[in-house]
Structure 1
Amino acid sequence: MTRILVGQLWQESHDFNPVPTLAADFAVERGAAMLAANAGAGSTLGGILRTLRAAGVEPVPTLAARARPGGKVAGAVYEGLREEILGAARQAGPLDAVVFELHGAMTAEGHDSPEADLMGHLRALLGPAVVIAVGLDLHAHVTDALLRACDIVTACKENPHSDVVEAGECAARLALDTLSGRIRPVTTMIKLPMLLPGGSETVDQPLGTLHAIARRAVAADPALLDVSIFNVHPFRDVPDMGQAVLAIADADDAAADRAALSVARPMWAWRAQFRHEFPDADAALKDVLARPAARPFVLSDRGDRVLAGAPGDGLHLLDRLRRLGLPLRGAFPVTDPQTAAAAIAGGVGAVLDRQVGGRMTPGFAPLPLRLTVLRTDPVGEFVQKGPYQAGQRSTLGPCAVLQDDRGNLLLATTAAAMTQDPAAFTSQGIDIAGLDFVVAKSGNHFKLSFAGIATPLVVDTPGMGSYRAGFFPYTKSRFWPEIQTLELGDIHLRRFGRHQPADATVPA
C-alpha cells in the first residue's frame, strides 16, 4: 500500500511584533490523534487527509501544530517541532511521499524560512525518490530553498481563504499523480520586488483580473497543472521578499514560463492600482448607528488584526465609541493578560478600575475603565466554527468577560485571540445577536465566519496590522512601495523540478 507522511505546521509571523510565539501558543495533535482530530477539519490538512483516504492511501501521521499569527516563533520551539517531525519520519518505515500543510510565512529565531528548513531536512532524510508536496497559504513567502526541496508547491487561491480545503486536495492529488507517473511536474517561479499596499481581496481589482488570467491559462493548456499567486505577508523582514507567481506544468517548462509571465507582467505594470480605502472608526461607528436594520455588525479592527500577527491589545474602537457618546453596545476583544488575571482573581461580580490594553503595540496606550466581571475562564479553549479553519482548536488563554459602565463588553484574553471566528465570543457566553456590533481582530477572514450572523465592515484603525510605506524598520527586504524608485529590470524565471532547464531572464 502507498504510504504518505502527513503533517501540519502553521503560524504566520509578524517580524515587528515584540511578543514572541512560544510553545504554549501552539495547539498540537500527534500521531493517531492528529489523524482523528483533522480528518474533517476545514483546513488544508483536512483536504489532504480526505483526498488520500479516498485514494486508498495510508496517511502516516507526524504532528499537526497551529499557533495564531504573532511575533517570531522562539527558535527552540520551532526546532523542537521539527525534530519531532523528523523523528516520526525516521520511525515510519518505508515512505512513498510527503504531503504537508504549511503556512509559508513563519519566521523563527535563527530561521528566515522554517518551512524551507523543515522540507530541506525531510528531503535529506528521505532521499530524492520520495515525492514531497506542500499546500501553503497564499500569503506565504516562497523561497528557492523550499522549491528545491519540494516537487509540488501550491496554495489557496482566494482571499478571504474560502478554499483552503481545496489547496490540500490539490497538493495531495498532484503528489499522487507524480507517484503514479501520470505527471512529471516542473515549476516556474517569478518573484516581483513589490507588495500589495491595498486591494488584496481576490474580488478587488486588479487582483481579481490577475486570478482570472491564471484560471484561463490553466483551462486553456492541458500541460498546465496549477498557478498560484502569492500575495506575500507584508510584515516579514527577510531576504527576497515580494510577490511570487508559481506555475506547475507537466514536463513542459515553456508552458509554466508562459503562465507565470502572463500574471507577473501585468501585476508589475498595475502595481500602483493596488489600493484600498476604509472608513475610520468614527465613520464606521456612525454607520452602525445609522443602519439599525443591519445590526449586529462585525467591525474589523484592521490595524490591530491578530490574523496579520498584530498583538491585538488595542481598544481604539471602544475609545472612539466612548468619546463620541453614541448609544451603541459592542463587544471588544483585547489581549491583556494582566486584566484577565485580575478578573479571574476577583471573580464574578468584582468591580475593577483598570488601565486596559495598550501595553504591547508601540505607540498604543492603555484605556482607563471601570469594569464589572461577568464571567471568567481559566483555560479559554474553543473550537473554531469556520468555514475558515472549521474544527480547529484555538485558545484565548485564561480570559474574562467584563462590562464597562456603558454596557459594552470586553473579552480580555491572555493569548492574542482568533476573533475572526464567532466561536471566540460565543464560547464565553457573549450573545452576538444581543449587541449592536462585535469587533474582530481580522481584516478579511471574519467575513466568511460571520456570514449570516453579522454585517461585516472593515475599519481603518491604527496598529501593526496595516502596511504603511516607511513605518516599519525593514533591514533585509527591498521592495516597492517601500522603495518607490525600485525598478524591475528583466524578469527572472526561476525553474524547479527534476527535468528543468537552466533559469532564464526575459524582458519585463
Structure 2
Amino acid sequence: MSTNSAPTRPRVAIVGIHIESSTFSPQLAVADDFEIRRGSEILERYSWIEETWSQAICWCPIFHARALPGGVLVRETYEGWKTEILTGLRELGEIDGLFFDIHGAMSVVGLDDAEGDLITAIREVIGADPLVGASMDLHGNVSHELFTGCDLLTCYRMAPHEDALESRRRAMRTLALRVLSGAGKPHKALVHIPILLPGEMTSTRLEPARRLYGKIPWLEAQPGVIDAAFWIGFAWADQPRCTAAVVLTGDDARLIEKLASDWAQEIWDARHEFEFVAPVASMADCLTWASTAKRPTFISDTGDNPGAGGGNDTTCALAEMLTYELVMSGDLSAIVASLHDAASVARAVEAGAGGVADFTVGGVIDARDPGPQAITARVETIANDPLGGTTAVLRVLLRDGAETGLRVIVTERRKQYSDLASFTLLGLDPTATDIVVVKIGYLEPDLFEMQRDWTMALTPGGVDQDLKRLGHEKITRPMFPFDDFEDPALTVIMG
C-alpha cells in the first residue's frame, strides 16, 4: 500500500538590519533607535505574504531591525544582532534560499562595509548553494562583498521612494519564483561608476534620473534578463564602497554583460546633467526669497535631514528665522519642523499647555555653528507622536511678551516631518502657514503637493548637500564631482 504525501515547500530564511547611516553625524545609532522583529512578526512587514506565489514558500523569518536613518551603529549592538542571526540560521538547518532585507547604507563603528561583513558571515553558515536575494534602497552601496554574497540584487526605482514596498515585493517574488523553478543561480553583472551625488541631485522627478531609471522596463524585457538595478550610492558616508553602481541579473551571461556596460556608460555620460531638484541657496537668501514667494512656501533645511541621517538638532535655520523681521513681527506665520530636543520637551511639559517659559533649543547633538538658541515661548500644544515621542509646539515670544509669527516644534525623539498627518496631530495646518521649514531634502509626496513654492537651503549638518564641505577621505578617487578626470574604464564584474 502506497501513501502520497504533500510536497515539501522550499524553505527561505528572512534576516536583515535596515538603517541608512551618516558617518558625518556625531550621533551614534543604538539599539533603542530600532524597531526589532523576531520570528513570525517579521512577516507583518510583507502585506503580500498571503499571495499565491508566496504561499508556495515556507518562509523562515529569524531577525529584522529597522530604524530611521541616523549615525553610525555602535559595534556591540551590531555584533550582538549578527550573532543572533547566525545562531538562528544554524538552528534552522538546511535552507533553499535567504531574503536579505536591508537598506544598504548601514555603517558600523570600525567597519567600512557592514552589509558586506554580514552577508559574508551568513554565507559561512548557510554555504554557497542557497539562493540569496536582497532588496535595497537606491541610496545603498553595492560592494564587491555584497555582490559576491547575493545572487539576486535589486533596489528602488523612484526617488522619493514611492515604490519601496513594491520593490521589496518584487525582490521576494523574484527570489521565490527562482527557488521554485529549480533553475539554479543566475548570472550577474556589476559595474561601479565613479559618481557620488546626493539624492537631491538625482531625483527621478527630473532628468537625467527619470530616463536612466525609465530604461529598466526595456532592459528587463530583453530575453534572458531577470532584473536590472541602478544604485545612486550613499553620499554621506566616507567609505570605499560609496559610489554609483548597476547590476543586471539573468540567464544570458553575454547579454547582461553588454547591457550592464552600455547602461553604465550612459549613466556616466549623463553626469553633468544632474542638478538639484529645487533652487538652492543659503538659509538667509532663502528667507529673502520667501518674502515674496507663493504660499505656503516650503524651505528644506537640507543639511540636518533626519531622513538621511542628520542629527535633527542643528540650529542654522532657526537662528536665521529668529532674525527674520517679517516673521518676528508677526506679519508672516512660520513653522520650524523640527528640533530633536528632549530637554526642551521636558521643560514644555513642566510649563504645561498655555504656560510661558525660557528655552535653550537645539545644538546639543550636532553642535555646529550657531549652536543652541535661547528663546522665550508659550507652549501651545503637547502631544504624543508615535515616532517623535512627546512633542511640543512652542510659539516664540518677543521680550515684551508679544507673539511672533514663529512656531517651533520640539520632539523627544528624532522625527522627520514628511506628511500632513504629523502636523495635524499637533493642531497645525501647514497649508495655512506662510513659511514652513522642514528638515528634509527633496519633499516627500504629501509636502510636495502642499507647497506652492519651494527652495532648498544649503545648511550645515551631517548630510550637508555641499559634499566638498564634508571632507571625504576614504572614497575611491578619482570621483565625480570631487575630481576632474578623463573617462574611466567602466569594468564589468561578472558573477
Q: TM-score, normalised by structure 2?
A: 0.86
C-alpha contact 2:458 2:466 (8 A) present in aligned 1: no
Matched, 1:426 2:424: yes
* 1:165-180 alignment runs, 5 A limit: 165-179=165-179, 180=181
Give distance in 2, aligned partners of 1:20 and 1:225.
Answer: 38
User: CA shift at 1:12, angstroms?
Assistant: 0.6
Give distance in 2, aligned partners of 1:430 and 1:34.
Answer: 34
C-alpha contact 1:302 1:466 (8 A) present in aligned 2: yes
Unaligned runs of 5+ in 1: 41-46, 383-394, 497-508
Give distance in 1, aligned partners of 2:60 and 2:438.
Answer: 37
2:105 is matched with 105
**Residue 411 of structure 1, aligned match among 406, 409, 412:** 409
Deviation readout 1:245-288 (Å, 9 max, x if unpaired): 111112x2211112211221122233233222624345655665
**Residue 377 of structure 2, aligned match among 357, 371, 382:** 371
C-alpha contact 2:385 2:391 (8 A) present in aligned 1: no
What secondary structure is seen at the aligned counterpart in 2 of 1:375? strand
1:386 is matched with none
Over 3 Å counting, the alpha-carbon distance change for 1:413 and 1:244 in structure 2 is same
Alignment RMSD: 2.6
Give distance in 2, aligned partners of 1:89 and 1:165.
Answer: 25
User: CA shift at 1:476, angstroms?
Assistant: 1.4
What secondary structure is seen at the aligned counterpart in 1 of 2:307? helix
Matched, 1:342 2:334: no
Letter paired with 2:178? T
Letter paired with 2:127? G
1:328 is matched with 332
Letter paired with 1:18? P
* 1:484-499 alignment runs, 5 A limit: 484-496=483-495
Letter paired with 1:27? E
* 1:53-452 alignment runs, 5 A limit: 54-179=54-179, 180-182=181-183, 184-196=185-197, 199-219=201-221, 221-250=222-251, 252-276=252-276, 278-280=279-281, 281=283, 284-285=286-287, 290=292, 294-295=295-296, 297-326=297-326, 327-332=331-336, 333-359=338-364, 360-376=366-382, 380-382=384-386, 395-405=387-397, 406-444=404-442, 446-450=443-447, 452=449
1:472 is matched with 470
Give distance in 1, aligned partners of 2:50 and 2:160.
Answer: 22
C-alpha contact 1:343 1:373 (8 A) present in aligned 2: yes
Give distance in 2, aligned partners of 1:90 and 1:429.
Answer: 51
Give distance in 2, aligned partners of 1:329 and 1:64.
Answer: 43
Structure of higher CA gyration radius: 2
**Residue 462 of structure 1, aligned match among 449, 452, 459:** 459
User: CA shift at 1:310, angstroms?
Assistant: 1.4
User: CA shift at 1:104, angstroms?
Assistant: 0.2
Which is further off, 14-23 or 322-331?
Answer: 322-331
Give distance in 1, aligned partners of 2:41 and 2:298.
Answer: 35
Give distance in 1, aligned partners of 2:93 and 2:287.
Answer: 59
Query: Percent same amino acid among aligned pairs?
Result: 25
Which is further off, 282-291 or 361-370?
Answer: 282-291
Deviation readout 1:329-377 (Å, 9 max, x if unpaired): 2322012232223223333333222232133142332222111223345
What secondary structure is seen at the aligned counterpart in 2 of 1:254? helix
Over 3 Å counting, the alpha-carbon distance change for 1:181 and 1:56 in structure 2 is closer
Which is further off, 10-19 or 206-215?
Answer: 206-215
Give distance in 2, aligned partners of 1:282 and 1:468.
Answer: 16
Unaligned runs of 5+ in 2: 1-8, 398-403
Deviation readout 1:123-164 (Å, 9 max, x if unpaired): 221122211111000011111111111111110111111111
User: CA shift at 1:290, angstroms?
Assistant: 4.2
Letter paired with 2:406? N
C-alpha contact 1:237 1:475 (8 A) present in aligned 2: yes
User: CA shift at 1:187, angstroms?
Assistant: 1.2
C-alpha contact 1:135 1:167 (8 A) present in aligned 2: yes
1:43 is matched with none
Give distance in 1, aligned partners of 2:381 and 2:92.
Answer: 46
**Residue 11 of structure 1, aligned match among 19, 31, 41:** 19
User: CA shift at 1:223, angstroms?
Assistant: 0.9
User: CA shift at 1:205, angstroms?
Assistant: 2.0
Matched pairs, number: 469
Over 3 Å counting, the alpha-carbon distance change for 1:485 and 1:407 in structure 2 is closer
Letter paired with 1:345? E
1:390 is matched with none
C-alpha contact 1:13 1:107 (8 A) present in aligned 2: yes
Over 3 Å counting, the alpha-carbon distance change for 1:469 and 1:303 in structure 2 is closer
1:25 is matched with 33
Which is further off, 264-273 or 241-250?
Answer: 264-273
C-alpha contact 2:187 2:249 (8 A) present in aligned 1: yes
Give distance in 2, aligned partners of 1:129 and 1:366.
Answer: 55
